[in-house]
Structures are given as structure tokens and as C-alpha cells.
């Protein structure tokens, strides 16, 4: 673990506080696999209100199939509520190029027309390639471009941020 | 010449063509099944399309007619947002003397990305894969008596959905194994996935002489072979086998090898029944079984779309 990285639990507490004071009582939380799904689960457990949770795997909506192929462990997108007219907060661990979020928004719209979509991320590492911005950010952070930043979950359920070189696949 | 196995996999060990189950590593089969699982959910939504293969051109080239298989490949390609063109080549250029490879070269010149090929000659998809441009992928949709790999994959996908653990199963495949590419693909898929006992059941005239070499147990009595099985796959009996004197009559075949509720009762109480379709009711299967609560024949069709979507998506993401 890289101890120069911020404490993910502290970032989570901060992100949760931002959401608690802003989002609708019945806003739906949609986590992007894997990190965003863990965050959405924790937020549902710890936030007041009636927040249903859904999960998105953006693999089938990505734009880099030709260069990167289909990842080997695609998870099943599961949206157990009606998207139509819902206030939705997409939750992800790291916001970087914006391409995953573009794919997540497109996925959502194939389920219906939400009333609103917002974005909550634990870390915004800059580097955007699309006009996408987060509504709720744990922390903005500069990370070397040759490193992948991701959330991990320890055995006790606590979050940590880790970096590693981008995998070839 | 490249070996069959090498022809299917690229230098990274990823699937580049799907030509046969034989020789496919377990990890590849499991990856296809796992990916198909995610596509099942897509097929249950109101919008059954994902943009994954947008801009890709897929040609279904059927040198042998099959409305059903061609349709499921078409639906799978369309649900991935690919452009799909289906050709019954049997009725067009080949009748004018064009060779298979000329047909393929012409379609490649139209910027095809993938060919789904059915042919009555075993090995035809290999010939095409050997001569295909490096970026082009080939899917075998049934070649002669050899293999029908996507059918084998959808069979094991269906079995996994109902039975979970392959390593505890006994599976029986019943009927015309000799002429069945479905049986061959399913046997290879089951043994690769670790099914400890695969049985083939049929009259000797419809079983290949060396079938034991595939690691199966052979039964000529349906009653004996069905005892205690978890899964029964009924094969379609083609009418021309009767004309070829391999069998006396449809009614005699039904009395000995047709699956009736009474015979199915010899299998485990929770056994499931598969059939690749189209069925001959009253020849290999009784309607009471085909429409009964142990039949998973229609789920097979549904899952077949998800499995073919998974195959196409994985292939389109693989590069040479």
C-alpha cells in the first residue's frame, strides 16, 4: 500500500457528508463496478433516506473494444428499480478520462429516462477527455499518468486506495 | 500448417476464431459462459441492444440452410449493434461456380469483420479461417458432421444455469450421435468442464465405432443409459437416416429410443431435458416430455442468443 495516498475512509466520510446534505431522500445510487459498487453499498447502509442501489458494468458500452478487447470478468449490470423519472447518483471510485462515466450514462438511458443524473466520486484525478464533471468529489488528486489508481476493499470492509501500473489487459 | 488449436487462439492465448470446442482450453470456455451470463440480463431489458460492436460488419454465410441458427446469430449480432448481412450462398454464387475462398475474398473486400459460416462439409470454416485477413474472425455455425461449437456452448451454459457444478453430473446424449455435430461439440465441452460421466445412448448403427475414445460410456439401451442421469440431451433424428437403411422406421425408433415420461422417470427426479431443435415430436421425443416441466428446450433458445453475443463480443475484441 502506498502511504502517500490519502486515507480512503476519510474521503468516504467526507463524500458521504456531501451527499447527505444534498441528495434527495429517495435518490437512487448506481455504483460502477467494482469500486463504485462497494461505495454505493456503503452509502446506502450509512446514509439516511430510502436509497435503492443498482450496479453497472460499463464493459458493453465502452469505446475501446478494438484496442483493449472485452475484459475477462464482465459483471452483470443490475438496476432493480425503474430508472424512468428517478433522481440518480452515479457512484464511482476514480474519475479520470470520463469515458467510463460516459458509458455508464449511456447504460442508464437504455433502462429509461431519469429525472436527473449526478456523479459522486471518491477521487478526481483530472485528465478528462470528455466534457464530464463530478457533482460530489472526495478529493482532487494528481497521480502519475502511468499509474492506475483504484479502490480496494480490505477483509474488514475498510476502503483503501492503491496504485499500480496499467495492466496490458 | 497451423494446428487447429493454434488457429483458434491468437498469440496472447485469446480466442480469435471459434471453430470447434475440441482443443479449447477450459478458461476460454468458462470466459464465454461468464460473459454470456452478463448478456442474459441485456436480453431481459426493454432495450435489448448494447453499442459494443457498432460499426462492425458481420456476414452470416450459410452454404447449408438453417433458418433457426441463422436467425439467432442475426439477433445476437444486431443486439451488439453490428451491421449484419445474411447470405444463403447455397442459392447464389456457388451455384455459378464461384469457390468458397472467392466468395470470402469478395466479402472481405466489402470490409467484413466477422464471418459466421455454416457448411455441409466438415472443416470448411477452417479453410476460411486459414485464408482470412488477420483482422477477420470466423465463427463455425456448424460444419458437416464435425462440430457446432456455439450449440455446444449454449448447451453447457443451459446446464450450468440449472445444475451449477459440472463435476458432479452424469449427462446422457441420446440418438443419432454418428451424424451429430451437436453431440461432438457437447461431449468436448462437457469433458473439458470436468463432467465425470458422459453417456451416449443409441442404436449401434448411429454411434461412431470409436466413440469411446472421446471418454464417453456407450449404451444401446435407453432404459439402462438413463438410470440416475442429471441431464438428458435428445438429438434430432434426421428422416434421411431412415431412407439410408440405418433404421427400420420412425415408430420403431420411437418405441426403443424415444423419450417418454416413463423413460425419463428412470433419470434423477430433477433431471433436465435438452434438445437442439428442431424437434421431431413422436420420433425422438414425446410431446409430454418436450412440453413438460423438466424440459429446458426453450430456455436453450433464449440462452443461445446470449452465448452467441458473448462469442462475437470476445472475438471482436481480440487482435492478431
The residues of chain B scoring below 70 in pLDDT are 1-5, 91-97, 240-245, 320
**A2 within domain boundaries:** no
In a domain, A151, yes or no: yes
Say whether residue B38 is in contact with chain A using an 8 A CB cutoff: yes
**Interface contact B30, partner A, CB < 8 A:** no
What is the spatial distance between Cα B130 and Cα B151, in angstroms, rounded to a whole number? 23
Q: What are the structural domains of chain B?
A: 4-147+302-316 (3.40.50.1370), 149-300 (3.40.50.1370)
Nearest CB partner across the interface for A70, out of B37, B51, B313: B313
Q: Looking at CA atoms only, how far is residue B51 from chain A in angstroms? A: 6
Domain assignment present for residue A1? The answer is no
Q: Are strands A147-153 and A159-165 parallel, antiparallel or unpaired?
A: antiparallel
Query: Chain B residue closest to A72 (CA)?
Result: B31
- Given CB atoms, is B37 within the 8 Å cutoff of chain A? yes
SS (H, E, C) chain A: CCCCCCCHHHHHHHHHHHHHCCCCCCCEEEEECCHHHHHHHHHHHHCCCCCCEEEECHHHHCCCHHHHCCCCCCCCCECCCCCCCCEEEEEEEEECCCHHHHHHHHHHHCCCCCCEEEEEEEEECCCCCCCCCCCEEEEECCCCCCEEEEEEECCCCCEEEEEEECCCC
Q: Which residue among B35, B37, B40 places its CB closest to the CB of A70? A: B35
What are B57-92's pLDDT values in tens digits? 999 999 988 888 999 999 999 999 999 999 887 756
**Interface contact B41-A78, CB threshold 8 A:** yes
> Does any domain span residue A108?
yes
pLDDT at position B246: 73
Look up the CATH number of the domain holding residue A57: 3.40.50.2020
Residue A96 lies in a domain: yes
How do residues B246-283 score in pLDDT, each as one tens digit? 777 888 899 999 999 999 999 999 999 999 999 999 99
Exposure string over A58-80, b if 16+ CB within 10 A, otherwise e: bbbbbeebeeebbbeebbebebe
For B113, which residue in chain A has the nearest alpha carbon? A66
Partners of residue A159 on adjacent β-strands: A153
Mention every residue, 6+ apart, whose C-beta is less than 8 A from residue B102. Answer: B93
Domain total of chain A: 1
Angstrom CA distances, A35 to A130, A148, B78, stand at 21, 13, 31
Minimal C-alpha gap between B47 and chain A (Å) = 6
Has residue A3 been placed in a domain? Answer: no
Distances (CA, A) of B11 to A68, A94, A159, B18, B114: 15, 32, 37, 15, 19
Q: Among A69, A106, A113, A167, which would you mutate to test the B interface (most chain B Cβ atoms within 10 Å of its Cβ)?
A: A69
pLDDT value for A22: 96
A139 within a domain of the structure (yes/no): yes
Q: Which domain holds residue A115?
A: 8-64+72-165
Amino acid at each position: 500500500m502506498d502511504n502517500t495516498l490519502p486515507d480512503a475512509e476519510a474521503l468516504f466520510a467526507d463524500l458521504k457528508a456531501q451527499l447527505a446534505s444534498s441528495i434527495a431522500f429517495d435518490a437512487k445510487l448506481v455504483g460502477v463496478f467494482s469500486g463504485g459498487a462497494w461505495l454505493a453499498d456503503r452509502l446506502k447502509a450509512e446514509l439516511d433516506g430510502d436509497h435503492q442501489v443498482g450496479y453497472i458494468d460499463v464493459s458493453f458500452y465502452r469505446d475501446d473494444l478494438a484496442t483493449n478487447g472485452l475484459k475477462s470478468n464482465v459483471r452483470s449490470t443490475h438496476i432493480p428499480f425503474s430508472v424512468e423519472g428517478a433522481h440518480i447518483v452515479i457512484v464511482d471510485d476514480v474519475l479520470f478520462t470520463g469515458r467510463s462515466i460516459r458509458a455508464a450514462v449511456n447504460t442508464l438511458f437504455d433502462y429509461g429516462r431519469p429525472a436527473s443524473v449526478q456523479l459522486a466520486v471518491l477521487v478526481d484525478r483530472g485528465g478528462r477527455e470528455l466534457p464530464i464533471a463530478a457533482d460530489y468529489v472526495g478529493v482532487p488528486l494528481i497521480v502519475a499518468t502511468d499509474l492506475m489508481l483504484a479502490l480496494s476493499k480490505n477483509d474488514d470492509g475498510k476502503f483503501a486506495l492503491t496504485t499500480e501500473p496499467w495492466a496490458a489487459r | 500448417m497451423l494446428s487447429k488449436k493454434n488457429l483458434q487462439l491468437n498469440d496472447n492465448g485469446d480466442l480469435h476464431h471459434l471453430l470447434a470446442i475440441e482443443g479449447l482450453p477450459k478458461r476460454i470456455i468458462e470466459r464465454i459462459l461468464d460473459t454470456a451470463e452478463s448478456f442474459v440480463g441485456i436480453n431481459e431489458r426493454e432495450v435489448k441492444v448494447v453499442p459494443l460492436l457498432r460499426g462492425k460488419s458481420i456476414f452470416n454465410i450459410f452454404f447449408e440452410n438453417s433458418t433457426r441458427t441463422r436467425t439467432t446469430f442475426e439477433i445476437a449480432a444486431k443486439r451488439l449493434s453490428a451491421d449484419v448481412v445474411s447470405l444463403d450462398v447455397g442459392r447464389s454464387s456457388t451455384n455459378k461456380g464461384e469457390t468458397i475462398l472467392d466468395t470470402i475474398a469478395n466479402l472481405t473486400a466489402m470490409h467484413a469483420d466477422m464471418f459466421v459460416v455454416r457448411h455441409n462439409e466438415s472443416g470448411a470454416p477452417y479453410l476460411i479461417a486459414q485464408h482470412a485477413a488477420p483482422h477477420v474472425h470466423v465463427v463455425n455455425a456448424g460444419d458437416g458432421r464435425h462440430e457446432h461449437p456455439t450449440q455446444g456452448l449454449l448447451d453447457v451454459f443451459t446446464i450450468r444455469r440449472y445444475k451449477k457444478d459440472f463435476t458432479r453430473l452424469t449427462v446422457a446424449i441420446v440418438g443419432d450421435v454418428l451424424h451429430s455435430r451437436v453431440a461432438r461439440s457437447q461431449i468436448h465441452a462437457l469433458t473439458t468442464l470436468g463432467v465425470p460421466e458422459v453417456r451416449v445412448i443409441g442404436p449401434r448403427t448411429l454411434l461412431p465405432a470409436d466413440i469411446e475414445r472421446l471418454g464417453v460410456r456407450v449404451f444401446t439401451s435407453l432404459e439402462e443409459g438413463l438410470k440416475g442421469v442429471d441431464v438428458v440431451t435428445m438429438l434430432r433424428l434426421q428422416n434421411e437416416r431412415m431412407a439410408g437403411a440405418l433404421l427400420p422406421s420412425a415408430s420403431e425408433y420411437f418405441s426403443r429410443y424415444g423419450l417418454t415420461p416413463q423413460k425419463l422417470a428412470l433419470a434423477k427426479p430433477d433431471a433436465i431435458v435438452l434438445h437442439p431443435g428442431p424437434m421431431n415430436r413422436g420420433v425422438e421425443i414425446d410431446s409430454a416430455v418436450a412440453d413438460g416441466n423438466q424440459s429446458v428446450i426453450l430456455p436453450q433458445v433464449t440462452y443461445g442468443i446470449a452465448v452467441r453475443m458473448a462469442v462475437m463480443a470476445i472475438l471482436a475484441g481480440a487482435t492478431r
